[in-house]
């Protein structure tokens, strides 16, 4: 088994740059080092983030302080081709998991991130035209060259994961999982991860902040009511409680944060100190679903 060891909380980089906070160079440095001070060393990127600019912004930090690289785990993704100003050859949004595109994307990410290797490379979305043996060949080449240590996928169904995993051993599937987005609990995704002994990554673990912005949503109202009582019990804030709900699952889910604010990262990390009671876990599930389990 190709084991991958990462901190239980992963820092999402999608909203740090032009797609979100527009952090200045100084604020970017403070944020990254603040995360490292908390022992949160894994940063989740994708080539497309910030319209293909976010990796380079992060890489500026490593370029100026190369000693940071040994303290980090860098995750990035490829396979989505977006239309963007600096990608004039992309005429429509499409997926490309060809060997040429994967290898070219990795070379670009290595340059942008100012690093010699990537810890984890994910295929960002399942490509309807993907050829597993071709992908496996490109993965093997990159791994043998020391340019990528581990490989996984993102947003793959269990059958799509199975198809590629048969040709190359994968270490994770990063999918959307939250109390308000629970498909992975029932569609076989988490079962599959447990079967193979790999840890799934959960993007949008707070459902894109829906718990704090969509206050008229019936599910949000029910979860907030139950959550407020449980926050008193566990002496935490609601976002911490929602992270703790994910961490309680036996698949050992790795939530990927979406915030650029260190105080919210602190709140996420506090979830590591909470072991949620089984009945409390189901109380939150019942509130989100609007009905008790069968």
Edge-to-edge strand ranges of the sheet holding 148-154: 11-12, 42-44, 73-78, 118-123, 148-154, 173-176, 201-203, 254-255
Q: Is the pLDDT of residue 65 over 60?
A: yes
Q: Which of 62-71, 246-255, 278-287 has the lowest mean pLDDT?
A: 62-71
Give phi and psi for 175, each to the nearest 5.
Answer: -130, 165
71 within domain boundaries: yes
Domain assignment present for residue 271? The answer is: no
Q: Which of 53, 4, 266 is nearest to 152 (CA)?
A: 4
Q: Is residue 210 included in any domain, yes or no?
A: no
Nearest to 254 by CA among 171, 170, 150, 166: 171
Output the pLDDT for position 1: 44
CA distance 241 to 235: 9
Burial 182-220 (b: 16+ CB within 10 A, else e): eebeeebbbebbeebebbbbbbbbbbbebbeeeeeeebb
Residue 63 pLDDT greater than 90, yes or no: yes
Domain that holds residue 159: 11-171
Q: Answer yes or no: is 190 within a domain.
A: no
Asked if the model's pLDDT at residue 219 lies above 60, the reply is yes
User: pLDDT tens digit string along 6-18?
Assistant: 999 999 999 999 9
275 within a domain of the structure (yes/no): no
Average pLDDT taken over every residue of the chain: 96
The pLDDT of 123-138, averaged and rounded, is 98
Question: Could you report the per-residue pLDDT of 75-114, keeping only the tens digit for each?
Answer: 999 999 999 998 999 999 999 999 999 999 999 999 999 9
Q: Which residues does 127 contact at the CB level (< 8 Å), separation at least 6?
A: 79, 95, 96, 97
Establish if 69 belongs to a structural domain. yes
Overall average pLDDT of the 204-208 stretch: 93
Determine which one of 49, 52, 234, 243 is catalytic: 49
Q: Are strands 148-154 and 11-12 parallel, antiparallel or unpaired?
A: unpaired
Annotated active-site residue 49? The verdict is yes
CA–CA distance, 254 with 246 (Å, rounded to integer): 8
**Within its chain, how far is the Cα of 228 from the centroid?**
27
pTM: 0.96
What's the mean pLDDT in 150-179? 98
| pLDDT level of residue 131 (50, 70, 90 thresholds) | very high
Look at the chain and report how many structural domains it folds into: 1
Which residues does 270 contact at the CB level (< 8 Å), separation at least 6?
A: 236, 240
Residue 2 has pLDDT above 60, yes or no: no
Token code pair at residue 15? 């909203």
SS (H, E, C) 131-142: CHHHHHHHHHHH
In a domain, 86, yes or no: yes
Nearest alpha carbon to residue 107 among 137, 154, 57, 141 = 141
- Containing 120, the helix (H) or strand (E) segment is strand 118-123
What are the residues whose beta carbons fall under 8 Å from the beta carbon of 235, sequence distance 6 or more? Answer: none
- Whether 165 maps to a domain, the answer reads yes
pLDDT > 90: what percent of the chain? 94
CATH number of the domain to which 74 belongs:
3.20.20.100
- What would the mean pLDDT of 191-195 be, rounded to a whole number? 97
Please, what is the angle between helix 99-113 and helix 132-144, to 10°?
40
pLDDT of residue 210: 81
**Distance (Å, whole) CA 149 – CA 151:** 7
């Amino acid at each position: 088994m190709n084991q991958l060891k990462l901190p239980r909380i992963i820092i999402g980089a999608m909203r740090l740059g032009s797609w979100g906070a527009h952090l200045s160079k100084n604020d970017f440095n403070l944020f990254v080092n603040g995360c490292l001070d908390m022992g949160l060393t894994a940063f989740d990127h994708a080539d497309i983030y910030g319209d293909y600019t976010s990796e380079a912004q992060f890489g500026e930090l490593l370029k100026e302080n190369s000693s940071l690289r040994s303290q980090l785990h860098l995750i990035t993704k490829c396979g989505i081709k977006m239309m963007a100003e600096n990608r004039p050859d992309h005429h429509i949004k499409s997926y490309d998991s060809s060997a040429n595109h994967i290898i070219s994307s990795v070379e670009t990410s290595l340059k942008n991130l100012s690093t010699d290797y990537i810890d984890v490379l994910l295929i960002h979305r399942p490509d309807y035209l993907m050829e597993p043996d071709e992908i496996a060949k490109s993965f093997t080449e990159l791994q043998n060259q020391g340019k990528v240590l581990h490989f996984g996928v993102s947003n793959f169904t269990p059958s799509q994961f199975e198809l590629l995993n048969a040709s190359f051993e994968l270490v994770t599937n990063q999918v959307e999982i939250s109390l308000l987005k629970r498909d992975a609990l029932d569609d076989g995704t988490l079962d599959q991860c447990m079967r193979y002994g790999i840890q799934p990554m959960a993007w949008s673990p707070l459902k894109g902040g829906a718990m704090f912005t969509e206050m008229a949503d019936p599910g949000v109202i029910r979860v907030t009511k139950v959550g407020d009582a449980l926050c008193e019990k566990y002496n935490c804030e609601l976002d911490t409680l929602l992270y703790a709900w994910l961490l309680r699952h036996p698949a050992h889910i790795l939530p990927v944060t979406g915030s650029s604010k260190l105080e919210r990262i602190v709140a996420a990390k506090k979830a590591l100190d909470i072991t949620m009671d089984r009945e409390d876990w189901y109380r939150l599930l019942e509130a989100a679903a609007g009905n008790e389990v069968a």
